[in-house]
Amino acid sequence: MRQCLVIGRPNVGKTLLCLRLAQACGLKWAFIMHELPDGAVRERVLTIRDAMATLVSAARYTTVGIQTVGVGMSSAIGQRLVLHDSTGLCEDSHDNALIRRGMARTLTLMVQSEQIVHVVDATTLDKGVLSPIDSLIMDVSKARDVPYTLVFNKSDAPGAMRKTELYRKSDRRTRPLVVSALRAQGIDDIQRVLIRTNVVN
């Protein structure tokens, strides 16, 4: 089973995106394994709808620790992929030991996972430039040389498209996939990438 890390800053929509991907793969139920920062593990099976209601929130650090969502990529191929929904990386939670440990787990997965999906909230792009943390996430992922996908989320929100255009003009090397997890738009593009990178071998 291939391990894919979904990484990004807090509140960019990582959790909702993971659940949308599960949904796009035809799952009605999500098998969710919640790994707490102190190492304890809790398993839950929720309908995707319930999972969205309980696990997605506008508060930052809804996800502390790692939430694993099993996603069957395609029932035909029967190959499975595991998405690791991680604690958002961000500087100003430095005072919270729990979140720090969660973030450390995120970095551990970052050096271990076989695939990385990097989620950015498009409305937070400043003059079309990635935040320092985001460019570092990109750099480290690329240095690792594993399949890496940049996703700009919240394309439905005001300003998102304009900022995405600015980004496209300033950085031509890494093309983002532009999606709205909220409206379930563009999810199939990510799904295609995941399928393409996962059928081989």
Partner 1 sequence: MDPIIDQLARGRLSVQSSLEQLRQAYRQDAPRSRSGLTRFGAPERGDSVLPASSPDAGIDPVAAKEILLRPLRDLIGLSEVKKVIDELYAYLAVQTLRRRMELKADGTVLHMIFAGRPGTGKTTVARLLGPIFATLGVLTQGQVVEVERADLVGEYVGHTAQKTRSQLDRAMGGVLFVDEAYALARGGDKDFGREAIDTLVKGMEDRSGNLIVILAGYENEMNYFLSLNPGLSSRFPVQISFPDFTERELLQIASRILEERQYRLSSDALSALRQSLRSERWGSDFGNGRTVRNVIERAIRRQALRVMGCAQPTRQDVMTLFAADFREGNDHAPMSGDWPSQRW
**Does 10 sit near ligand GTP (CB under 6 A)?**
yes
**Partner from ligand GTP, partner 1, Mg ion, none binding residue 100, C-beta < 5-8 Å depending on class:** partner 1
Could you tell me the end-to-end alpha-carbon distance of the chain, in angstroms, rounded to an integer?
12
**Does 84 sit near ligand GTP (CB under 6 A)?**
no
- Using the rule CB under 6 A, give the single segment among 40-48, 75-83, 176-184, 192-200 that binds ligand GTP: 176-184
Are the C-beta atoms of residues 130 and 89 closer than 8 Å to each other?
no
CB atoms within 10 A of CB 18: 29
Distance CA 2, CA 140 (A): 20
Distance CA 200, CA 183 (A): 30
- Using the rule CB under 8 A, give the single segment among 70-78, 91-99, 161-169, 170-178 that binds partner 1: 91-99
- Using the rule CB under 8 A, give the single segment among 20-28, 103-111, 173-181, 193-201 that binds partner 1: 103-111
**Does 44 sit near partner 1 (CB under 8 A)?**
no
Strands ordered across the beta sheet of 79-85:
41-47, 29-35, 66-74, 79-85, 2-8, 115-121, 148-153, 177-178
**Does 194 sit near ligand GTP (CB under 6 A)?**
no
Are the C-beta atoms of residues 47 and 31 closer than 8 Å to each other?
no
Answer for which of 16, 27, 69, 190 binds ligand GTP (CB under 6 A) is 16
What 8-state DSSP symbol labels residue 129?
Answer: B
**Does 163 sit near ligand GTP (CB under 6 A)?**
no
Q: Which residues are at the interface with ligand GTP (CB under 6 A)?
A: 8, 10-16, 56-58, 60-63, 88, 153-154, 156-157, 180-182
